[in-house]
Chains A and B, each alone.
Chain A
């Protein structure tokens, strides 16, 4: 499994000059409410998949937005698309649709998940 950078000693810098920011634009085209996320983390705290994994939707969403795709496909496999996160979002973000679209785009970019 790829390291998503959960360890503290990550040496990576997000270089926005070299990041592919167009993939996220495609997500926003499909799911305009993605723009409204204010990164409050309510979705992550309430996530059903958290019971048995370390999935963090907010973090994955933000890394994708910044064009940091490494390891995200594996992470997204942990989501069951149950939609519970969408119920608590106070910005009305369609979380599930974001996850779904990120998966498709990552697949097209050949960021294969382990499955």
Chain B
């Protein structure tokens, strides 16, 4: 069994930022990541809303932070068991690692909604239907194309896939996908100025700083079109394109349109790790997101001494929100560890 001051579960933005801040405060941190690569969902990102910052800059900044002398990073080490042993937490991984520490930070993040559950949208059935994550990967390699390798003439983005949807059991809003659709449509127009971009929405939620401006910019400078209506049917055409149908609710008329790519703006759900560890420790809240002791006043603490939370294991958050939350968690843990040694 290896001893540490803190075990941080998850090497995404939340886990790394918290580990780094704890390391700077002279705590010995073990950072355990399930995957071969760290960075969590920043791994596949191309640019970040709302300022189009290159995601590779974020990755190198995060990578640099993991190099701090007080951090020991373990990749390929999925945490499978977290338990309380006397005054300590025991954290065990799939590859036989076994740690004991007075404090644990859960930073096991989210997973994206599996779009196959929305059968009527044709994901996994028609090749032209892809997810926002797959579209971002296309942008990253500079190759926006259809399954036949052709340049798309028209791209549609559909909001709220797997969010705000009683049918899949997710009543909540995932918060990042509206602004992400604006970002992706602008990036699409930057790479393919000729392409027509359409965003289908139920409500446009531009609550963050600079979001509304970006929405406006997408209309003013990039000719992105917005249609208020939820696409409820997708069907292939004879020439291998896709026909989408919705009601154009503002003109109160049904609308159909042929597109080459339909990009589903998939929502955020608790990751499997978040759900499982939350269950073991007893901090699971709604939709398997982890629950802090007080949303307003102690959002990194749980009902268990020494067990802390940071980032999207709690709820959908943007990167800046995640990083701020991680720093707050580090501060709480620092105070906790100091209180133990007094």
Binding site for B on A (CB under 8 A): 6, 38-46, 50, 56, 58-59, 88-92
Q: Is B246 an interface residue (CB 8 A)?
A: yes
A-B contact count (CB 8 A): 62
Known: A40-B202, A42-B230, A42-B232. A58 touches B167 (CB 8 A): no
Contact of B247 among A6, A38, A44, A91 (CB under 8 A): A44
B249 and A88 within 8 A (CB) = no
The answer to whether A40 touches B249 (Cβ under 8 A) is: yes
With CB as the reference atom, state the residue of chain B lying closest to A57.
Answer: B247
Known: A40-B202, A45-B245, A58-B249. A90 touches B233 (CB 8 A): no
Binding site for A on B (CB under 8 A): 120, 160, 164-167, 202-203, 228-233, 245-249, 252-255
* Contact A40-B166, Cβ < 8 Å, known A45-B247, A45-B254, A59-B252: no
The residue on A at minimum CB distance from B164 is A90
A45 to B243 alpha-carbon distance, docked (Å): 12
Q: How far is it, in angstroms, between the C-alpha of A43 and the C-alpha of B120 when the chains are bound?
A: 13
Least distance between B95 CB and chain A CB atoms (Å): 41
User: In the complex, are the beta carbons of B233 and A38 less than 8 A apart?
Assistant: no
Give the residue among B164, B231, B247 with the most A Cβ atoms within 10 A: B247
Q: Are A46 and B229 in contact (CB under 8 A)?
A: no
- The answer to whether A45 and B252 touch across the interface, beta carbons within 8 angstroms, is no
Q: Chain A residue with minimal CB distance to B167?
A: A90
Q: B230 to nearest A CB, angstroms?
A: 4
CB-CB < 8 A to B165: which residues of A?
90
